[in-house]
Amino acid sequence: MKRIDFENHFYDVCFYDSLQKRDTPPFYRGDTEILTWTNDIKVPQGNVTPSLLDIGEGRIKLMDDLGIDLAVLSCSPGVESLDAADSVDVCRKTNDALFAVTKKYPGRFLGSAILPVRDVSAACKELERCVKDLGFVSWQVHSNFGKDAAPDDGAFRPIFQKAADLGVYVYLHPQLPEYSRLEGYGFPLAGSGLGFTLDCVITTTRMIFSGLFDEIPNLTVLLGHLGEGFPFVLTRMDNRVGMYKNPLLKNKHNPSYYFHNNILVTTSGNMSKEAFYCTRDMLGTDRILFGSDHPYENAAEMVTFINEIPMTDAEREAVYYKNAAEKLNIHVK
């Protein structure tokens, strides 16, 4: 059975080099292999750095062993919190490095652009270059850009419009939240244990309430981890929005509408049968794509999970590759 992986991460060395020059978060120290995202969050990188930097034969072998035909590579977490000038340089170098990999292994990798969002004009130009010149299929954006900015801010609308105009999707990946209540317990609270999901949910909801999808109705956004918890709360959200009319909300439809028209979800890093069933029952199998979240999650376990969870062969084919062809025009060659 063909398989396309929509969440497969890498770093280029230029990202670490840039972070090592910084004295304020985010910064990286090679001697300790610790990435300091905030004063409270220090993440050891030693166990994942080799895999993040390996976008050659090692990654190809892993994909072959797991039967993954094609992977969309993305730099995550990203560089949006860097100063604009530094971000422009790092994004271009990272995108160029990714392009080189896609050319070296044709038919195995696709590119997802990382953009210097704090310079909106430069970000739009870089996305256009990545799509038209480098053949990338998406923009990888994160759920916040530091303490003072996030994707739902109106200032970033032109980048979303550019993505829609170019016909590429946007993958909204979690970032560490900027909320004081998530401090004090380190990465287990603020990161992938809970904080990532909270930040993605808040950002996505604000994108909906701000009218982003109504302004750009052909925009497609992907969320990882089986929808970041949305399938569990969508019915209640619809109900509350209908019950408490609020002129501040600019969305023309209930929140669930956008999950059937603009938002797709991937399996990345969520191996809960109950979560899968909830997502399938709420959104339909045709709204789910396969993602491994390599190397932050065990790709082999993710494949085993999809192989073994009860569903029809047609549903499994849809998750693994047919939805990609039908919804995103991405095919295994």
Question: Does residue 111 sit in helix, strand or coil?
Answer: strand
Q: CB neighbours (10 Å) of residue 150?
A: 22
Q: CB neighbours (10 Å) of residue 261?
A: 14
Angstrom CA distances, 311 to 150, 223, 298, 303, stand at: 37, 22, 22, 14
The burial class, CB within 10 Å (0-12 / 13-18 / 19+), for 106 is exposed
Terminal C-alpha separation, the chain:
13
Q: CB neighbours (10 Å) of residue 246?
A: 8
Would you state the structure tokens that stand for residue 249, as one six-digit string? 């909300």
Question: Does residue 139 sit in helix, strand or coil?
Answer: strand
Q: Please answer whether residues 266 and 291 qualify as being in contact, where contact means their C-beta atoms are separated by less than 8 angstroms.
A: yes
Closest by CA to 163, choosing from 123, 103, 134, is 123
- Angle at the Cα of 218 (from 175 to 316), degrees rounded to 5? 70
293 belongs to the catalytic site: yes
Q: What is the largest CA-CA distance in the chain?
A: 56
Q: Please answer whether residues 248 and 286 qualify as being in contact, where contact means their C-beta atoms are separated by less than 8 angstroms.
A: no
The alpha-carbon radius of gyration of the chain (Å, integer) is 19
Question: Does residue 124 sit in helix, strand or coil?
Answer: helix
Pairing between β-strand 221-223 and β-strand 263-266 as defined by DSSP bridges: parallel
The single residue of 12, 152, 199, 293 carrying the catalytic annotation is 293
Q: What is the DSSP letter of 318?
A: I
Active centre residues (catalytic): 293
